[in-house]
Amino acid sequence: MTYRLKLSDKTSQDALRRIAVEEVDSALAELDDAEMDLHEKVHQVRKRAKKLRGLIRLVRPHFPDHARENAAIRDAARRISGLRDREARVETYDKLMVATGATGFDEVHAHLVAVRDAASGHDHVADDLAAFRAEFEALRARAAGWSLSARGFKAYRPGLEKMFARARKGRRAAAESPDAATIHDWRKAVKYHWYHTRLMAPISPEALERRAGQLKDLSEFLGDHHDLAVLDAFIAEAQELPGDAALWQAFRARIAARQDVLESEAQALAARLFASPAKDLGKRWKSWWKAWKAA
C-alpha cells in the first residue's frame, strides 16, 4: 500500500512529497487505462483527488501552500463531477433496492440511466478529462517541491487533532439536528479522519488498521446517506418525471426510511470511535510514533 507513512521516509516533508506524487501518478495511470470503463475511471481519479486533499489536510497548519493546492485539487475534481454525479444516482438507486428489498421501481431506474447516458456521450466529457489531466500533471511538478515548516510528529499532530475534534463535534450536531447538510459536514470530517488514520497506520498497525476499517464503515453509512439526499433533491427539483407521481412519492419515502436506518447505524458506531477528546488521541498516537521510530 502506498497511501501511508514509511520508516524509509527521512522526514515528514519527504513523506508528503512521496505520497502526493504516488497518488497523482496513479490517477494519471487510471486515466490512461484502456480497460477501465469511463464511469469507473472518473470514480477512481476523483477518489485520488479526495485522498490528496486528505493528505494535505493532515499537515495543513505547517503547509504554507495548503490553500492554493487544496483549491487546485478541488477545482480539478469539479471538472469531472457532473458525470460522476449522474452515475452515482444510478448506483444509489441500486444500493437502495438491495438494502431495502424494494421492487416495482423499474421506471425510476430507467429514467436515471437515461439521464446518465444522455450526458455521457457529449464531447465535453473528453475535454473535461483532458483538463483534469493537465491540472494533475502540473500538480505533480509542484508536489515534488512541497515544503513543511515542522518535522516529525509535530507536522501531523495539529491537523490530526483538529479533524478528529471536528468529526467528534459533527457527531453531536448530527444527533441534535440530523438534516442533510449537517450530516454531510459530519461525513466530510469523518472521511478526512479516516484518511489520516490510513496514512498513519504503520505507527500502530493493529490498532489503526482496525480503526481504519471502522471509519470506512462509518464513512460509507454517511456517504450512502448523502447520496440518498442528493438523489432525493434531484427528484424534488426535476421539472418533468416519467410515470405516475405516486410512484416517485413512494420512492422518496423509501429514501427517507433508509436514511433513518443509516443515521442510527452511524451514531452507534461513532459513539465508540469518538468517545475521547482529541488531545487524548494526539497523546496516544504520539507515543506510538515514538515507539515506531525507535524500533
123 three-class SS: coil
| Per-residue confidence (pLDDT) for residue 102, from 0 to 100 | 92
Per-residue cell: 264: 442510527
| Per-residue confidence (pLDDT) for residue 125, from 0 to 100 | 76
Domain segments of the chain: what residues? 9-84+121-151, 156-295
Torsion of CA 248, 249, 255, 256, to 10 degrees: 170
The pTM assigned to this predicted structure is 0.94
CATH H-level, domain 156-295: superfamily: CHAD domain (1.40.20.10)
Residue type, 11: T
What whole-number distance in Å separates Cα of residue 107 and Cα of residue 110? 5
| Per-residue confidence (pLDDT) for residue 127, from 0 to 100 | 86
How much of the chain, in percent, has pLDDT values that exceed 70?
98
| Per-residue confidence (pLDDT) for residue 39, from 0 to 100 | 81
Q: How confident is the model at residue 293 (pLDDT cuts 50, 70, 90)?
A: very high
Tens digits of residue pLDDT in 240-257? 899 899 999 999 999 999
Judged against a pLDDT cut of 80, whether residue 119 lies above it is answered with no
5 three-class SS: coil
